[in-house]
Amino acid sequence: MANIYDTANQLEREIRELDQFKELSDSFAELKKMKQLIFYLKNSNLSNKNCNKKCLKVKT
C-alpha cells in the first residue's frame, strides 16, 4: 500500500503535466505581468500629475 504523501505528490506531478494546468499557469503569469504594468502606469501617471502641478506653481 502506498503512503498517502507519496500518492499526493504523484497526483501533484500528474496535474502539473496537464495541458490545462500549464495554460492556467501561463494565464496567471500574464495577469501578474499586467497587474505590475498597471501599477507602474498608475504610479507614473500620478507622479506626472504631481510634477505638472508643482511645475505650474513654479512657472507662475
Name the DSSP letter for residue 18.
Answer: S
Say if residues 21 and 15 touch (Cβ distance below 8 Å). Answer: yes
Report the pLDDT value the prediction gives residue 16, as an integer from 0 to 100: 97
Q: Which residue has the higher pLDDT, 8 or 47?
A: 8
Here the cell at position 28 is 496567471
Q: Which residue has the higher pLDDT, 55 or 9?
A: 9
Name the DSSP letter for residue 3.
Answer: -
pLDDT in tens, 26-44: 999 999 999 999 888 888 8
Q: How close are the terminal C-alpha atoms of the chain, in Å?
A: 82
In whole angstroms, what is the distance from residue 44 CA to residue 35 CA? 14
Report the pLDDT value the prediction gives residue 54, as an integer from 0 to 100: 57
